[in-house]
Amino acid sequence: MKMEDKGKKGKTFGLGSEPVVGSLAPAKKKEYRITNRLQEGQRPIYAVAFNFLDSRYLNVFVTVGGNRITVYQCLEGGVIAVLQSYVDEDDEAFFAVSWACSDEGSPFIVAGGSKGIIRVIDAGRESIYRSFIGHGNAINEVRTQTLKPSLVISASRDESLRLWNTQTGICILIFAGAGGHRNEILSVDFHPSDIYRICSCGMDTTVKIWSIKDFWTYVEKSFTWTDLPSKFPTKFVQHPVYSASVHVNYVDCTRWLGDFILSKSVDDEIMLWEPKVKDEITGTGAVDVLQKYPIPECDIWFIKFSCDFHFNIATVGNRAGQIYVWELQSCPPILATKLSHPQSNSPIRQTATSFDGSTILSCTEDGTIWRWDDVSNSST
């Protein structure tokens, strides 16, 4: 998935002072050691995610690669136990996965990939719960609304986002059209405390913020709808409330940090910035870039970072198989540590950081899962 060269585009310039750039000299404030590596197969593993939704399953994670979805548990002493495995009978290649939750509290796994179909698996009952058909092309990311964990949003190559109700199978809203993305959408995220706000980014170099406040009645209606899901009056949302070209190249991962945004481009860096709306009508945005977190050798697209639950650290891999662990609560940015191993040299497509940041997982292009554990406070 090597990115072609793209010409520099016009950029929305920031306000105020210059951003603070983090030093690549590791502070060595944390020490992680490899405690396990697991060869899942020959096909790339594109996504890995811990379950932050249910305190019973904080050490459970899921991976997707090829036509396989696998559920694991991190145990003491570096042990990784396989709990469940699902194989899609079609020639699917999964790219994205997220945890969701049924009304009764059963853990759901929501996965999508090259076919544009979203599979919802009831992991509590070990069965396929639903399949969502609607996207016209591959799905690059799926995220869950943690404040209402039966809602998920998908980002697609078809240049649209779709908001789904996993409980009822309804596609509630489609974010696309006049003000939408003009190329593949690579990443999407729900605001952690404002239930109405969503940010998205993609190959068109823009980051957009969408509001579902004016469409919340559709969300509520999706929970009580008794007719066929296909008869639901799905609403198109054509205009974001904010849009800006923060980067000059593909933007393949974005996450909210409070009201600020972390976004990563293929220009070897993550940026922390504040969105400021300049024009309420068009949503044209100014960008105040606060900090930059360099990630060397991270110039291919589809490499995604992850954070612990409290956003103390962000972990991100690169095409050389190394992991950079950046502190998020410090200014200037502090590189807590850099993780590398002689045999880890395949591109890391995604990391998963555990609830408290004590375990970091990486999934790679060569089908391997690596487990790193924090031994900073350990006597070993």
Which pLDDT value is given to residue 103? 87
pLDDT grade for 17, boundaries at 50, 70 and 90: confident
| Beta strand pairing call for 20-21 and 323-327 | unpaired
pLDDT grade for 309, boundaries at 50, 70 and 90: very high
In DSSP notation, 128-145 reads: EEEEE---SS-EEEEEE-
Q: Which residue has the higher pLDDT, 141 or 13?
A: 141
Average pLDDT (221-237) is 97
What is the percentage of the chain residues whose pLDDT exceeds 70? Answer: 95
| Beta strand pairing call for 170-175 and 235-237 | parallel
56 contacts: CB under 8 Å, gap ≥ 6 = none
| Beta strand pairing call for 151-156 and 161-165 | antiparallel
Which pLDDT value is given to residue 12? 44
Which pLDDT value is given to residue 16? 56
In DSSP notation, 31-100 reads: -EEEEEEEE--SSPEEEEEE--S-GGGTTEEEEEETTEEEEEEE-GGG-EEEEEEEE-SS---EEEEEEE
Its pTM stands at 0.94
Terminal alpha carbon distance of the chain: 39
**Are 263 and 254 within 8 A, CB to CB?**
yes
User: Is the per-residue pLDDT at 49 higher than 90?
Assistant: yes
pLDDT grade for 283, boundaries at 50, 70 and 90: confident
| Percent helix, percent strand, percent coil in the chain, to nearest 5 | 5, 45, 45
Task: Please tell me the least confidently modeled range out of 20-24, 90-94, 184-188.
Answer: 90-94
Average pLDDT (336-363) is 98
Which pLDDT value is given to residue 63? 98
Average pLDDT (237-251) is 96
Question: For residues 22 and 355, what is the distance between their CA atoms, to the nearest angstrom?
Answer: 24
Average pLDDT (354-372) is 98
Q: What domains are there in the chain, each with its CATH number? A: 20-341+364-374 (2.130.10.10)
Which pLDDT value is given to residue 72? 98
Which pLDDT value is given to residue 284? 81
Q: Which residue has the higher pLDDT, 97 or 42?
A: 97
User: Is the per-residue pLDDT at 364 higher than 50?
Assistant: yes
Which pLDDT value is given to residue 378? 63
Task: Please tell me the least confidently modeled range out of 27-41, 131-145, 226-240, 272-286.
Answer: 272-286
Q: Which amino acid is at 324?
A: Y
Q: To the nearest whole number, what is the mean pLDDT of the chain? A: 94
Q: Hey, which residues does 73 pair with through a beta bridge?
A: 60, 81
Average pLDDT (185-198) is 98
Question: For residues 203 and 23, what is the distance between their CA atoms, to the nearest angstrom?
Answer: 28
* The CA-based dihedral angle spanning residues 143, 269, 325, 188, taken in that order and rounded to the nearest 10 degrees: 0
User: Is the per-residue pLDDT at 185 higher than 90?
Assistant: yes
pLDDT grade for 376, boundaries at 50, 70 and 90: confident
Task: Please tell me the least confidently modeled range out of 6-10, 44-48, 269-273, 310-314.
Answer: 6-10
User: Is the per-residue pLDDT at 8 higher than 70?
Assistant: no
In DSSP notation, 334-371 reads: EEEEEE--TT--S-EEEEEE-TTSSEEEEEETTSEEEE
